[in-house]
Amino acid sequence: ARRGEDAAPDGTLVWAREQTRGRGRRGRDWVSPPGNLHLSLILRPEVPLREAAQLSFVTAVALYDALGNISEPGHQIHLKWPNDVLLQEKKVAGILLESEAGGAEFPEWVIVGLGVNVAHFPDDAAYPATSLSAEHWTVSVEDTLVAFTRSFQRWANIWVEEGFDIVRRTWLNRAIGKGKSIEVHLENETLTGNFKDLDDDGALILERDGAERRVAAGVVYFPDN
DSSP 98-122: EEE-TTSSS-SEEEEEEEE-SS---
CA distance 115 to 92: 8
Q: Which residues pair with 30 in a beta bridge?
A: 22
pLDDT given at position 32? 66
More confident residue, 27 or 128: 128
pLDDT given at position 18? 65
pLDDT given at position 75? 87
* Nearest CA-CA partner of 58 in 200, 153, 173: 153
Of 14-18, 20-24, 92-96, the one with minimum mean pLDDT is: 20-24
- Is pTM beyond 0.85 here? yes
| Span 148-158, average pLDDT | 98
CA distance 119 to 33: 9
Q: Is the pLDDT of residue 207 over 70?
A: yes
* Nearest CA-CA partner of 112 in 35, 54, 27: 54
Q: Which residues pair with 191 in a beta bridge?
A: 184
Of 9-13, 50-54, 90-94, 122-126, the one with minimum mean pLDDT is: 122-126
pLDDT given at position 33? 73
Contact 40, 111 (CB under 8 A): yes
State the greatest distance between any 2 C-alpha atoms of the chain, in Å, as a whole number.
Answer: 49
- Ramachandran class of 51: left when φ > 0, alpha when ψ lies in -120 to 50, beta otherwise: alpha
| Span 91-99, average pLDDT | 95
Contacts of 169 (CB under 8 A, 6+ apart): none
Of 67-76, 99-108, 114-123, the one with minimum mean pLDDT is: 99-108
Sheet holding 90-100, edge to edge: 12-16, 37-43, 109-116, 90-100, 84-87, 77-80
pLDDT given at position 3? 54
Q: Which helix (H) or strand (E) holds 55?
A: helix 55-70
List, in order of start, the domains of the chain with CATH numbers. Answer: 2-173 (3.30.930.10), 181-221 (2.30.30.100)
pLDDT given at position 49? 85
